[in-house]
Amino acid sequence: MKLALSIGLMDLDGPGSVTHPDLSRTVYGDGRVITPLYRAKPGDTRVDKRTGELVQRRFEPDASMHFEAGTQEAYGTKFFLAETRSDDGRVILDVRFVPAKGAGGEAGVATESFETLAALAPGIQAIVYDMALRGTHIDRLLKAGLLPVVKVPAARRKRRRGARGGQRVDKERLIEVKEVTLPDGARSRCPSTRRTALPGSAASTTRAR
């Protein structure tokens, strides 16, 4: 933290605003699964050549099954990292262990970390994260005075069984229905919908009926 502040990052009097956050006052976060040193898992045994007994193989006790990118399984020890960046490089601000169960998962650990960082460095304006953060976490960040920059997850993905990726199907919500008068004098009901974006953006559409 002191290193980041000493090189001008997260400066309370620095450039940017809540609506136009500056990169020097932005914190980036992500989760990483570290592959364990041993392939064995709890319950895997071997025969002791000296005694002939079955003994537990060496294993990583903190390793477990996690998910990356929402669907990809990854076995190992998961950590959360928060960092800030400058033209000269990046500074790691926080590293936390993510348990397989409890603590709210990766998103819960990340949110708690960001809240702590915001209290230590009031100059932070924005948080950049992936789709692990959902509504409840975004609400907590907003209450902490931070602007979350988080991609909206898809409603679903169309893909073949066992395939990765697939065609994205965006979320769509009805905003309102207005009645308008057409050039020929006829009245029509126009629903305004929002698709994975804020109202008024390019992804907001209005259709006449």
Residues 15 and 64 in one domain: yes
Whether 49 is in a domain gets the answer: no
Given the DSSP bridges, would you call strands 26-34 and 126-129 parallel, antiparallel or unpaired?
A: parallel
Whether 48 is in a domain gets the answer: no
Tens digits of per-residue pLDDT, 54-64? 999 999 999 98
Whether 110 is in a domain gets the answer: yes
Residues 128 and 178 in one domain: no
Cα 39 to chain center, whole Å? 28
- Count up the domains in the chain and report the number: 2
Residues 108 and 137 in one domain: yes
Whether 45 is in a domain gets the answer: no
Residues 76 and 31 in one domain: yes
Domain that holds residue 71: 1-35+59-153
Whether 191 is in a domain gets the answer: yes
Tens digits of per-residue pLDDT, 45-91? 999 999 999 999 999 999 988 877 666 788 899 999 999 998 888 99
Tens digits of per-residue pLDDT, 110-148? 999 999 999 999 999 999 998 888 889 999 999 999 999
Residues 195 and 116 in one domain: no
Residues 147 and 98 in one domain: yes
Q: Give the H or E element holding residue 135.
A: helix 135-143
Whether 84 is in a domain gets the answer: yes
Burial level of 124, CB count in 10 A (0-12/13-18/19+)? buried
